[in-house]
């Protein structure tokens, strides 16, 4: 069912990307999505929620968690790539050490951003998983 539009009954949009999902899987795990899709909001009439402030790569991992109970480590590259570009503009006092393992940084970004989304959308199980993985990687 993950990333399959068949039998989906809700849609999440995020910066031009669209995720088809199933309320029976998503709503029991997130009071935010449950309230938005079952309350007297426009979203509940259309069964569609727009997440314009979130990164589609992280939202994809969020839905991976909803369906599997876990997520892939180190798959979030956008902010990591932005940091690579910014590294050249740091002065000597606040530059990033050259020996920082880049794969570990990607994983830390993934865990951190999933933790933030878990907190934002009230997903306790994901919050715990992301926190524990962040601690293990740090």
Q: What is the pLDDT of residues 13-63, one digit of tens each?
A: 999 999 999 999 999 999 999 999 998 888 888 999 999 999 999 999 999
**pLDDT at residue 85 in the model:** 42
Q: Which residue has the higher pLDDT, 68 or 75?
A: 68
pLDDT at residue 92 above 60? no
pLDDT score at 138: 85
Average pLDDT, the chain: 83
Domain 10-137 annotated CATH 3.30.710.10: yes
* Residue 77 pLDDT greater than 70, yes or no: no
Determine the Cα–Cα distance for residues 113 and 32; give it in Å rounded to an integer: 17
Query: Looking at the predicted structure, is the pLDDT value of residue 135 above 90?
Result: yes
Would you tell me how many other CB atoms lie within 10 Å of the CB of residue 110?
26
Order across the sheet with 17-21: list the strands: 17-21, 10-14, 48-50
Q: How crowded is residue 35: how many other Cβ atoms within 10 Å of its Cβ?
A: 14
Q: Strand runs (DSSP E) across the chain, as ranges?
A: 10-14, 17-21, 48-50
> How far, in Å, CA of 69 to CA of 25, rounded?
11
Domain boundaries, the chain: 10-137
The pLDDT value given to residue 91? 43
Task: Please report the pLDDT score of residue 4 as a whole number.
Answer: 74
* Burial degree of 56 (CB within 10 A; 0-12, 13-18, 19+): middle
17 SS3 class = strand
State the pTM of this model.
Answer: 0.77
Q: How confident is the model at residue 105 (pLDDT cuts 50, 70, 90)?
A: confident
Strand partners, 48: 11
């Amino acid at each position: 069912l993950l990333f399959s539009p068949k039998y989906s009954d809700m849609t999440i949009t995020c910066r031009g990307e669209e995720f088809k999902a199933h309320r029976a899987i998503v709503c029991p795990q997130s009071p935010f999505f449950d309230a938005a899709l079952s309350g007297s909001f426009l979203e509940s009439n259309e069964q569609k929620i727009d997440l314009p402030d979130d990164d589609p790569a992280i939202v994809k991992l969020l839905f991976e968690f909803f369906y599997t109970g876990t997520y892939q480590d180190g798959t979030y590259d956008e902010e990591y790539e932005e940091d690579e570009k910014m590294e050249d503009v740091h002065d000597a006092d606040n530059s990033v050490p050259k020996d920082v393992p880049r794969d570990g940084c990607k994983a830390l970004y993934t865990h951190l951003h999933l933790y933030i989304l878990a907190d934002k959308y009230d997903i306790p199980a994901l919050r715990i998983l992301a926190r524990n993985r962040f601690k293990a990687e740090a």
